[in-house]
Chain A
Amino acid sequence: MRPSVVITGIGLITPLGSGRETVWRRLLAGASGIADVTAFDTAAYPVHRGGEVKDFDPAPYFERLAPASVGRASQLAVAAARLAVADAGGVLDELAPERAGVVMGTTSGEPREIERHNDRLLAGDGAAGDGALASRYPCHVIAGAVAAELDLAGPNAMIPAACAAGNYAIGHAVDQLRAGRADVMLAGGADAFSRITYAGFARLGAIAPECCQPFDRDRKGMIPGEGAAVLVLERAARARARGARIWAEVQGYGLSCDAHHMTAAHPRGDGAVRAMRQALADAGIEPRAVSYVSAHGTGTAINDRLETTALKRVFGPRARRLPASSIKSMIGHTMGAASAIEAAVCALAIADRRVPPTINFRRPDPDCDLDCVPNEARELEVAVAMSNAYAFGGYNASVIFRRSDG
């Protein structure tokens, strides 16, 4: 039998604040982290709202590296990793550095390096090239910064799987632990707020003018966001032996590709269905065992409808009663960090027996007739939770979490 892998530490840097307790409390309260964008001037854009991490000071999280030596996504990732390790109570104590590794996901890596480069070009400086594009921009520096800062010398991977990247990273990290390639893995995702991402989604007409309203009949789009989440993962036997607090077990995962369109989901949700079914098969459970779904729920007209279709295909008539909420209503779409943050939400929902709401929900949509836990958190005995994430490139990733026996 393959070994169980559990989550023993959670680190969160989000538009709702930093740290597991703060973020969880505010998510359950239905708070909003959406505000007017400050990272750049949005005057030339038709929309102005975003989910930024406010007043972020990386300094307290850095001991070995200089915070300014890395870009913002790496800073967010390092901060989340530090918080996760602290949350996991001594997980790295007496562990050889080569037995601990890192897998991170991202959509854009460090796009602000490109923004800075272009700003210099347009200012008449920079035609001779910009060294930062080789040393600070390539996305693998994010996983590298986490490993260098925390002195982790084991397997290291960067998975730029766009908006499903967090789930990809968690799945890959679980495989490393099951194969015995490491004893502890830090897995998560990070993305920094970027005018490049903002311009793209604005051009697609995908950004909502005010707020994100997943599954609402009047939903007007997504809200770009930023953040980072890192989970500490280890085999259950090790976690129990050291007396660690276990948030949840990662029971299985599934990945698939639509092979249909770069930015639009498959019209019947085929790829999403395959990923969910593979995750269920990998976990060795039937759909009825799932008691909560962390929906991708971006808040765009098409995506939410297709996700509803896909959930119905997997869960049957029960899909209408199965609680499936989207925290993107509160923090926006944090890109590569999104599914990593949502994995933490699933683990906390299991441990805390409460699920966060979908806020801004006013009018039901017959095409999205799910129980999206409208507006108020709910007490719920969550034995098994599924987290779904869908991305550009047709990437789909579902991860299943369950209450750990120990």
Chain B
Amino acid sequence: MSQQDRVVITGCGVVTPLADEPQALFDALCAGRSALRPLTLFAAAGGGRRRAAELTDFDPRRDLGKVNVRPLDRVGRLATVAARRALAASGWTDERRAEHDVALVLGTMFGSVRTVTGFDHRALTAGPSYVKPLDFANTVINAAAGQTAIWHGLRGVSSTLAGGPTAGLQAIGYAADLVRSGRAGAVLAGGVEELCAESFLAFDRHGLLGDAANGSRSGPVPFDARRAGFALGEGAALLMVESARLAAARDAPVLAVVRGHGSAFDPRRGDDEGSAARALARAIAAALADAGLEAGDVDAVSASANGSVSGDRREALGLLAAFGDGARELPITAVKSMLGETLGAAGALQTLALVEALARGVLPGIAGLGSLDDDLPLAGARAASRRLDMARGLVTTTGFDGNVHALIVERPAP
């Protein structure tokens, strides 16, 4: 593939509890700052001890101006604001978008389970004649993407990917394929998820949340021997994924090259460790093949691990299956240690962290990592950030229900 045909990343927009722009977010990740704080959005059993990576002071009007944001629910607002920031960061101004359609591919696990639940609840209690049409528009799972497209006039291809915690990464891979096939020149790609009572309580019922109320000693620390579950987070991250040709034509700085990606499925959906590990290994192998690279070309991993007892283990075994003994020393980070499990947004946040890491030569640590799980072959995991010269990195995402996706980004040639 010639340089001109390459797929590149030229800008990012984020909404996270740690920071409102990628550089500051990366600084916070390198400093090991955790976004976890006591829940305030809603009440949950366990009271003030319940923690999540919540956006406590998110105000879309700071970015969108003094406009009516009522038609957008929380997910729509998060996505619209992240898109605004990504468009600005990548130089896709209103004038440029008037000449060239920009596409949008958004990952989300739930859309808004809160909006749908509230809509149905109102129909039941007040009667179906009293539901609000604006709310109905937001019950479809692609609503946030539709709202974002309307807000910013994105008339190119538009799509939404689900898949749980793999969705954001799948969206970036889907976007890269759109660019390669010529279906789109420039694509905003990434993911979004809100924190809400419906999803929080649902995960809690499954005993998957590892905060203090559940007796966890370490909190949600990926790959830690004492991990007992994950913490939920929320936010949005969108990357501008475009052809190198378009980026060059407007002198846009290239942050990273998307080299390839791969998808696989574990038909046992986690019930069988070996099957799960093989699925991740297949996704990684597919990503390497797509990129024309070999396992030895990967310098670091931005992992999906979130503190889940079984999920982290499956991912570690998958890395071992993909990299063999090389996996043992592979530098690895897991930003969910600081951002929580942001579900549909997670893959995009993992990618963004890795893109910054390649550019700056610093890999964030896994915040809170005390004692690495002896069973996991990951001596390359560290609590603190470290300087590291990395040309290429691998992002892995593993879902709750068998979905796995891997993607490889590369530092641009100087």
A interface residues with partner B (beta carbon < 8 Å): 44-46, 97-98, 101-102, 106-109, 111, 114-115, 117-119, 121-122, 128-135, 137-141, 144, 147-148, 151-162, 168, 172, 175, 179, 181, 195-196, 198-204, 255-263, 270-271, 274, 278, 282, 391-395
Contact of A203 among B117, B131, B162 (CB under 8 A): B131
Whether A393 pairs with B149 at a CB distance below 8 angstroms is yes
Give A395 to B162 CA distance when docked, in angstroms: 16
Q: B158 touching A153 by the CB < 8 A rule?
A: no
Q: Which of A118, A201, A204, A270 gathers most chain B CB within 10 Å?
A: A118
The answer for the CA separation of A160 and B400 in the assembled complex, in Å, is: 18
Of B119-127, B220-228, B312-320, the one contacting chain A is: B119-127
CB distance from B176 to the nearest CB of A (A): 11
Closest 8 A/B residue pairs (Cβ): A393-B146, A129-B201, A160-B141, A200-B136, A257-B158, A134-B202, A131-B205, A262-B137
- Report whether B124 and A138 are in contact in the complex, using a CB–CB cutoff of 8 Å: no
Contact B149 A392, beta carbon cutoff 8 Å: no
Q: Which of A129, A256, A394 contacts B202 (CB under 8 A)?
A: A129
Contact check, B154 vs A257: say whether CB atoms are below 8 A apart. yes
23 contacts between A and B (CB under 8 A): A45-B128, A106-B141, A107-B140, A129-B205, A130-B198, A134-B202, A135-B400, A139-B162, A148-B268, A155-B264, A160-B111, A160-B162, A179-B177, A202-B128, A255-B183, A257-B155, A257-B156, A259-B153, A262-B146, A392-B142, A394-B150, A395-B142, A395-B158
Residue numbers in A under 8 Å from B141 (CB-CB): 106-109, 139, 160, 162
Contact B205 A102 (CB under 8 A): no
CA distance A66 to B201 in the complex (A): 25
Please, how many residues of chain B have a CB less than 8 angstroms from a CB on the other chain? Answer: 82
Query: Is B204 part of the contact surface with A, judged by Cβ < 8 Å?
Result: yes
- Chain B residues closer than 8 Å to A158, beta-carbon distance: 161-163
A153 to B267, CA, bound (A): 6
User: Within 8 Å CB of B125, what residues of A?
Assistant: 122
Residues in chain A near residue B161, CB distance under 8 A: 157-159
Contact yes or no, B146 A111, CB < 8 A = no
A181 partner residues in chain B, CB cutoff 8 A: 262-263, 286
Question: Does any Cβ of A come within 8 Å of B322's Cβ?
Answer: no
User: Do B121 and A161 have beta carbons less than 8 Å apart?
Assistant: no
Instruction: Give CA–CA (A322, B131) in the complex, Å.
Output: 40
Task: Please tell me if B133 contacts chain A, counting CB pairs below 8 Å.
Answer: yes
Q: Are A257 and B157 in contact (CB under 8 A)?
A: yes
B167 nearest CB neighbor, chain A only: A140
Q: Is residue B70 contacting chain A, with contact meaning CB distance below 8 A?
A: no
Closest to A261 in B: B150
The docked-state distance in angstroms from the alpha carbon of A394 to that of B154 is: 10
A210-B153 Cα distance, complex, nearest whole Å: 38
Cβ contact within 8 Å between A392 and B143? yes
Contact partners of B290 in chain A: CB under 8 A: 179
CB distance from B39 to the nearest CB of A (A): 13
With A98-B282, A153-B264, A395-B146 in contact, do A140 and B162 touch (Cβ < 8 Å)? yes
Cβ-neighbour of B263 out of A148, A157, A202, A204 (below 8 A): A157
Residues of B within 8 A of A102 (CB): 265
A392 to B140, CA, bound (A): 7
Asked if B402 is at the interface (CB within 8 A of a chain A CB), the reply is yes
B159 at the interface (CB under 8 A from A): yes
* B-side contacts of A117, CB under 8 Å: 117, 198
Whether the Cβ atoms of B140 and A196 lie closer than 8 Å is no
Contact with A along B168-186 (1 / 0, CB 8 A): 0010001001000101000
| C-alpha gap A175/B182 in the complex (Å) | 12
| Cα-based distance from A263 to B132 in the complex (angstroms) | 13
